[in-house]
A = this chain, B = another copy of it.
Amino acid sequence: MAAAPFTIKDVAQAAGVSTATVSRVMNRNGYVKDEVRKHVEDVIKQMNYQPNILARSLKQERSRTVGMVLPDMTNPYFMAVARTVQQHLMQQGFHLLYMDSDDNPSKELEAIQVFAGMRTEALILAGTGGNADCLNQMLAEGKTVVLFDRTVCGVQADLIMDDNRSSAKEAMSYLLGKYGPDIGIIRGPDRISTSMERTEGTRQAIAEAGCSPEDFIWFEGGFTRRSGREAGKQWAKLTDRPKATFSYNNEMTYGFYLGLKESGIPLEEVEVVSFGELETAPLFANRLSVIYQNPVKVGEALAEMVADRLEKGRKEREQRIFMPRFERMFH
CB of A53 within 8 A of chain B? yes
Complex CA gap A79/B283 in Å reads 23
Q: Is B100 a contact partner of A3 (Cβ separation < 8 A)? A: no
CB of A74 within 8 A of chain B? yes
Q: Is A74 a contact partner of B63 (Cβ separation < 8 A)? A: no
How far, in Å, is A8 (CB) from chain B's closest CB? 12
CB of A236 within 8 A of chain B? no
Complex CA gap A100/B76 in Å reads 14
Q: Is A144 a contact partner of B54 (Cβ separation < 8 A)? A: no
CB of A58 within 8 A of chain B? yes
Q: Is A1 a contact partner of B142 (Cβ separation < 8 A)? A: yes
Closest to A122 in B: B2
**A141-B2 in contact given A98-B98, A100-B83, A282-B261 (Cβ < 8 Å):** yes
Q: Which residues of B contact A97 (CB under 8 A)?
A: 97-98
Complex CA gap A52/B62 in Å reads 12
Of A31-39, A112-120, A193-201, A207-215, the segment with at least 4 beta carbons within 8 Å of chain B is: A112-120
Complex CA gap A279/B144 in Å reads 38
Complex CA gap A277/B134 in Å reads 38
**Copies of the polypeptide in the assembly:** 2
Q: Is B82 a contact partner of A73 (Cβ separation < 8 A)? A: yes
**A267-B283 in contact given A54-B57, A57-B54 (Cβ < 8 Å):** yes
Per DSSP, chain A at the interface is mixed
Q: Is B2 a contact partner of A50 (Cβ separation < 8 A)? A: no
Complex CA gap A142/B141 in Å reads 41
How far, in Å, is A240 (CB) from chain B's closest CB? 24
CB of A287 within 8 A of chain B? no
Closest to A116 in B: B50
Q: Is B73 a contact partner of A113 (Cβ separation < 8 A)? A: no
Partner of A58, one of B52, B63, B117: B52
CB of A320 within 8 A of chain B? no
Mask of A24-49 contacts with B, CB within 8 angstroms, 1/0? 00000000000000000000000010
Closest to A90 in B: B110
How far, in Å, is A253 (CB) from chain B's closest CB? 10
Q: Is A100 a contact partner of B86 (Cβ separation < 8 A)? A: yes
Q: Is A119 a contact partner of B48 (Cβ separation < 8 A)? A: no
Q: Which residues of B contact A51 (CB under 8 A)?
A: 117
**A254-B225 in contact given A118-B53, A313-B1 (Cβ < 8 Å):** no
10 shortest A-B CB distances, which residue pairs?
Answer: A284-B284, A53-B117, A283-B284, A2-B142, A50-B116, A54-B58, A3-B141, A74-B79, A3-B142, A73-B79
- Given A4-B61, A54-B57, A95-B99, 16 additional A-B pairs, CB 8 A: A2-B121, A5-B116, A50-B113, A51-B117, A52-B58, A53-B114, A54-B58, A54-B118, A73-B79, A73-B82, A95-B114, A225-B279, A254-B283, A257-B283, A258-B283, A261-B282
